Structure 1
Amino acid sequence: MAGAKPGVNRVAGLPFSQACENNKQPILAHLQVHFADCQQVLEIGSGTGQHACHFAPALPHLVWQTSDQPHYHEGIRAWLTAYPRDNLRQPLSFTVGQDPWPAPGIDGVFSANTAHIMQPDEVNVLMQMIACHLPANGVFCQYGPFCFDGQYSSDSNRAFDQQLRSQGYGGVRDVEELQAWGAGLQLQEVLALPANNHLLVWRKP
């Protein structure tokens, strides 16, 4: 479920994504605002574990629950062992379309660079699950490249989408499509971030 195949952090011997390193601080600045009232956040598609280890210390008021497909767990656990935090939880197994909702009591959800990797039917299921399981006033922060009204936000995103689809991935999703699939969620903010990415802030009324 996570994004591009990670490399290895040669210093620490940990799986490493340069994209995570580049975007973690701009994302965090917004999460500190939108997750201010959350108590338990589920990260869907924790990938290498880098985001979790960066976000959890800066959000000490909440529990950060990691999750991903089982083959990512070893790397996530390695990061959590290297950078332990009391509010950081070991990964749960969650493969969209196969597994049930992995954690009760969640009032916040975060997912980065997953919607364009997953197939459209899987993203549809994911949006429905989040809309179903978030409580009233729950928040979903979704990061990545997106299309708007059928238009790419940049030429680089157009080329990226073509590359993804040629490799068998689902491709860059249109925000209108996500709104239809996530009926029950309201898109409150669309925040522009570096490298032609956006953070979509959804809330369940």
Structure 2
Amino acid sequence: MIRVLVVDDQHLARAGLRMLCGTTDDIEVVGDADNGHAAQRMVDQTAPDVVLMDLRMPGVDGITATARILAARPSTRILVLTTFDDDDHLYPALSAGAHGFLAKDAAPEEVLDAIRRVATGDSPFSPAVLRRLVQAAVTAHAAPPPEDAALARLTPREREVLALVGDGLSNPEIGQRLHLGVTTVKTHIASLMTKTGAPNRVRLALLAARAGPDN
């Protein structure tokens, strides 16, 4: 059972996420909070596996709460739920340790899938959110340019996987596109991180963006 804490300053949003998670047999909402300070307290009380974190909240915002929660409980997984006008907050939230980003207009199935993926160690991102994040980071030079030596070590298949990560595809979607099993895709992702030194999926996406279509 995946234990989830819902953090959002809008009561309707919290109620909707509770109802959505209640339709499953493997996800349980163990509490909710309407601001970052309350979220920290609830994490200590309920020890959730996953925190669904809004970014814009009064008082302690989602970015600050993410950093504080992970400093106290590093094993907690933070999945940010954001709107498209929150671009300026996305990269700071990533720097604070957030493990994934999902648009608030995502389909219910996408939200549930993202919760399950982040709970198992994956880093789910809405394609649109990832593209915006990558573009903002590239424009601001938030990541170093790719090293030719690192790219040269990639196999043709790894280059294909890297390009699809850059497009924001999930592991199952990459598998479908390349006719590979999810386990094989995960192996390629791990190899890409090792060869390029990228610590997470977003850094791989940044690398793909900087390398361009002919990497």
Q: Which band: TM-score by shorter chain?
A: 0.3 to 0.5
Structure number having the greater strand percentage: 1
Bigger relative contact order, structure 1 or 2 (CA pairs below 8 A, ≥6 apart): 1
Give the helix-richer structure, 1 or 2. Answer: 2
